[in-house]
A and B are shown apart, each in its own frame.
Chain A
Amino acid sequence: MTRHRPVFAAFAALLFAVSSLVAQERPRKIVVASKPFGESYLLAEMFAQLLEARGVVAERRLGLGATEIAFAALRSGDIDVYPEYTGTGLLAILHERPSADPRAAFAQVAREFRERFGMRWLPPLGFQNTYAIAVRRETSARLHLRTLSDLARAGPDLRAGLTPDFIGRADGLPGLQGAYDLRFREVRALLPAVKYQALAAGEVDVIDGYATDGLIARYDLVVLEDDRAFFPPYEAAALLAPGVAERAPAAVAALTELSGLLDEQRMRGYNRRIEVDGEPVARVAAAALDELRLLGREDRRTGTRGGPVRGSLAAYLWGERRMLLHLVARHLLLVAVSLVAAVGVAVPLGLALERTRRAAEAVIRGVGVLQTVPGIALLAFMIPVLGIGLVPALVALFLYSLYPILRNTYAGVRSAAPDAVGAARALGMTPQQVLRHVRLPLAAPLIMAGIRTAAVINVGTATLAAFIGAGGLGDPIAAGLALSDTRMILSGALPAAVLALGVDAVLGACERAVRPGGVAP
């Protein structure tokens, strides 16, 4: 039937777009990933540059959600390697209590990961990055705090600002409370990006950090000694996906060169350059590899690349314009493809539900429930099925877009001038003609309004796609949050806001354009 042709065409175009994108994402190279915090970015970047220096093609997927997402991506083979810590592997992934001895802990994760997941831990990089509980120097002096046992004494008077991760995990707050009988007056969940400022500003008195955080030095904080050896060893090492060792021995050899070369002092210095001085990760990584004498002469060029370290936001945005344009294009692609798919499903579904009104509310509410699933959770659920990258991001955005479009389509065709619909039927329009010539034109502005709502929400939600490596304007936001770089956060957030306003304006114009003549606005 001719009237179905545009729908088919839209679907065909969509399938083509998605399949070509998927195909584009399948080159065989070593995919290096990181979790979304500074040191993880730095280590991953060092891995990538070292691989490139040894002639291995490396693709970067930096800043993946958190442990669950990075590990799931490694398990599904979407990424090949990322830096992990033995303590995290034991507690967060294997759910086992590690021994206090670093060597025993490494032996345990290496064995269990091989047996259970077929994954391989390369020999440790040489430093530990365990949790550090920090207070302001003034607090430490006033309350005579030197150890965590001291903290347990003063805890009821103090406010803690802890990362959600730390509050939830067994080797975090719950375990710490058990080991030291520690109670705080108040515990607030704070993202890594803000906790140091919150502590410095006196909003909270105690935070959790990592032993190698550069910001500990910047804010002149006191790290309290773990006098009962509660925190397990957190040795950093490269964690390889199943089969990488067999498939890419050259890559494994290159990465193993880093083993044992890094220590805590060096790492604190590198982290500080990134987190405090705002140097680009790539430059610090190159400098580190250079210091470790892992780069040949010709490879050092990478190390000197990068714009001014500090400067105005405008200058920064201008300097990054090419990358930002690329990210905007990627962001628009995510929004457009998921939105077109959602329109293709939700509009016909809304029209069909008009004929089966009894089922309609149940179906629409069911779709509405999807809306309540937090974005990052939905993404995490989908990794075992869809992996990471573009496809799961598109699916998630598609699912989030369904509800507003479906709700408005149904409401629109249902409430379209009932007397006109009745008369059209009584004078001999077929149900299809009623739909096409009466209900649909009258409902068009409301349907368009639903699409507009979905699109604007979509532009915002698409920033989360960065956490599963799908790119877009979420990339600088995630990286900026991880590196405490406000300018970098803004370089993603500002274009995203402008994009949302632009999409809203364009679709607002569409909404006015589809409003049929003769109908009061």
Chain B
Amino acid sequence: MTPPASVAALEAREVAKRYGPVAALEGISLEVHRGECVALIGESGSGKTTLLRCFNRLTDPDAGQVLVDARDVARVDPVELRRRVGYVPQDGGLLPHWRVRRNVTLVPWLRGLPDAPALADRALTLVGLDPEAMADRWPRELSGGQRQRVAVARALAARPDLVLLDEPFGALDAITRADLQSTFLELRRRLEITTLLVTHDLAEAFLLADRVAVMHRGRIEQVAAPDVLLEAPANQYVRTLLARARIAG
């Protein structure tokens, strides 16, 4: 069942996507290894979210191949694919008319897993929330940080091997963001899941990711571990990005 370790968990091969006259992705290739966390970083419009969405078929590319567990996603039912891949959007995307526990049981329920409530409580505990206190609350009764923790718990509840995160901590204040980032690091260590993380925050990318992919105008400028990126920027764009981040940081 489990594919050999040498096979990439996620792979994009020459992926291209246009929205009318605008090229969002221009022949992108990227591999994410099993258990690895790769951060996609770039400015707005660089194509990072479009690339992320190709991996659970929220977007279908015009050209190229996208593989998840070495299988071409174009030949996989998108609904089935999405139920196997965790997903955390920036705004949390909790269903406002469902209580916390029901939100977290969403994917186990969709997949028909037995004992969905227990899976939900376990996931809530993993993200540092007390199921007793939280499970029966409505989303609007939660703070911004709690809401994102619930969104992460929902992504993890069905124990996926792979989680996609689209600027998951972008809308939080600095202190709450730091809390969630450390929770995320902890989780990665314990669960060994493969994660692809979209962020516009270089510090966050360096903190959370094993490798960072710098995107610019639909292309990847450089993919490297944080220290390599710092020591040997591939080109002027990457150098400028690092310099700006240092000033800001």
Q: Do A and B bind each other?
A: yes
A residues at B contact (CB < 8 Å): 417, 419-420, 422-430, 433, 437-438, 441-442, 516-520
12 contacts between A and B (CB under 8 A): A417-B95, A419-B89, A420-B94, A420-B95, A422-B89, A423-B93, A426-B93, A427-B83, A433-B110, A517-B99, A518-B96, A518-B97
CB distance from B146 to the nearest CB of A (A): 14
Expressed in whole angstroms, the minimum distance between the Cβ of A448 and any Cβ of chain B is 15
Shortest CB-to-CB span from B123 to chain A, Å, is 13
Residues on B close to A: CB < 8 A? 56, 58, 79-83, 87, 89, 91-99, 106-107, 110-111, 138-140, 151, 154-155
Instruction: List 4 additional A-B contacts (Cβ < 8 Å) besides A423-B92, A427-B107.
Output: A420-B96, A425-B82, A429-B79, A518-B140
Report how far A422 CA is from B92 CA in the complex, Å: 10
Q: Taking each of A423, A441, A516, A520, which has the highest tally of chain B beta carbons within 10 Å of its own beta carbon?
A: A423
Query: CB distance B58 to A426 under 8 Å?
Result: yes
Q: Cα distance A266–B154 when bound, in Å?
A: 87
B91 with A441: CB separation less than 8 A = no
A420 touches B93 (CB 8 A): yes
- How far does the Cβ of A433 sit from chain B's closest Cβ, in whole Å? 8
Q: How far is the CB of B148 from chain A (nearest CB, A)?
A: 12
Instruction: Report the separation of the CA atoms of residues A438 and B139 in the bound assembly, to the nearest whole angstrom.
Output: 14
Asked if B140 contacts A428 (CB within 8 A), the reply is: no
Q: How far is the CB of A335 from chain B (nearest CB, A)?
A: 30
Closest to A429 in B: B110
In whole Å, how far is B17's beta carbon from the nearest beta carbon of chain A?
Answer: 17
> Given A424-B106, A430-B79, are A419 and B138 also a contact pair (CB < 8 Å)?
no
| Complexed CA–CA distance, A420 and B96 (Å) | 7
Complex Cα spacing A429 to B107, Å = 9
B58 / chain A contacts, CB cutoff of 8 Å: 425-426
Chain B residues positioned under 8 Å from A438 (CB to CB): 95
Main secondary structure of the interface of A (DSSP, over half): helix
A-B complex: 9 closest residue pairs judged by Cβ atoms? A423-B93, A516-B97, A428-B83, A518-B138, A428-B82, A419-B91, A426-B87, A419-B93, A420-B95
Q: A419-B91, A427-B107, A428-B110 are in contact. Are A518 and B98 (CB under 8 A)?
A: yes
Closest A residue to B98 using CB positions: A518
CA distance A426 to B93 in the complex (A): 10
- Tell whether, in the assembled complex, residue B87 and residue A417 are in contact, meaning their CB atoms are under 8 Å apart: no
Given known contacts A517-B138, A518-B138, A428 and B93 CB-to-CB distance under 8 angstroms: no
Task: Pick the residue among B107, B111, B139, B154 that contacts A518 (CB under 8 A).
Answer: B139
* Chain B neighbourhood of A437, CB < 8 A: 95
Neighbouring B residues of A428 by C-beta, 8 Å: 79-83, 107, 110-111
Cα distance, A57 to B93, chains bound together (Å): 69
Shortest Cβ gap from B209 to chain A (Å): 21
Inter-chain CA distance A424–B96, complex, in Å, is 11
Q: Taking the nearest CB of chain A, how far is it from the CB of B117, in angstroms?
A: 17
B99 cross-chain contacts in A, Cβ below 8 A: 517-518
A423→B110 contact, CB < 8 A: no
A519 contact from B80, B92, B97, B155, Cβ within 8 A: B97
Asked whether A423 and B89 contact (CB < 8 A) given A516-B97, A518-B98, the answer is: yes
* A517 and B93 form a contact (CB under 8 A): no
Are the CB atoms of B110 and A520 closer together than 8 Å? no
How far, in Å, is B150 (CB) from chain A's closest CB? 11
Q: Out of A422, A429, A441, which one reaches B97, CB within 8 Å?
A: A441
A424 touches which of B92, B95, B151 (Cβ 8 Å): B95
Chain A residue numbers with a CB within 8 Å of B87 are 423, 426-427
- Please determine whether A427 and B96 come into contact, CB atoms closer than 8 angstroms: no
Q: Separation in Å of the A428 CB from the closest CB of chain B?
A: 3
| B53, closest chain A residue (CB) | A426
A424-B83 Cα distance, complex, nearest whole Å: 10
B154 in contact with A427 (CB, 8 Å): yes
> A417 touching B96 by the CB < 8 A rule?
yes
Question: Complex Cα distance A426/B83, Å?
Answer: 8
Q: Could you say which residues of chain B place their CB within 8 Å of the CB of A424?
A: 93, 95, 106
